[in-house]
């Protein structure tokens, strides 16, 4: 009776193909930062929609926050520690909150 051991946790194929190359290849880091900058503006806009009374803004923000948490948990499962994905997501959310607060205070968005 030989039972096969369960496969070790792995990243979804889309993360392997579309995210990890940007984190592992230093030449692609400027592209990664540009992509994250665009996502920051979108997240800040969603947060502003929520602050201004739109339920859709909060719902979408909550869904994206849950997806970020799931990716962070998956990174811990795969590598046993926090790494580039968690760092990118943490910076993304902190910067988005900062931009949303700045935009609300100054009225730029």
pTM given for the model: 0.87
Distance, CA of 98 to CA of 103 (rounded, Å)? 8
Distance, CA of 22 to CA of 15 (rounded, Å)? 10
pLDDT tens-place string over residues 28-82: 999 999 999 999 999 999 999 999 888 998 999 999 999 999 999 999 999 999 9
The distance of Cα 92 from the centroid of its chain, to the nearest Å, equals: 6
Q: Which of 4-8, 70-74, 82-86 has the lowest average pLDDT? A: 4-8
9: confidence class by pLDDT, cuts 50, 70, 90:
confident
Closest Cα partner for 57 from 66, 69, 44, 67?
A: 44
The reported pLDDT for the residue numbered 2 is 61
Q: What is the mean pLDDT of residues 1-10?
A: 76
1: confidence class by pLDDT, cuts 50, 70, 90:
low
């Amino acid at each position: 009776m030989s039972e096969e051991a369960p496969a070790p946790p792995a990243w979804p194929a889309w993360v392997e193909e579309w995210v990890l190359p940007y984190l592992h290849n230093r030449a692609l880091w400027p592209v990664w930062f540009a992509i994250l900058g665009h996502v920051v503006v979108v997240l800040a806009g969603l947060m502003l929609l929520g602050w201004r009374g739109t339920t859709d803004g909060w719902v979408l923000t909550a869904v994206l926050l849950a997806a970020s948490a799931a990716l962070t948990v998956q990174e811990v499962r795969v590598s046993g520690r926090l790494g580039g994905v968690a760092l990118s997501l943490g910076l993304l959310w902190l910067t988005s909150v900062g931009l949303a607060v700045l935009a609300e205070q100054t009225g730029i968005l």
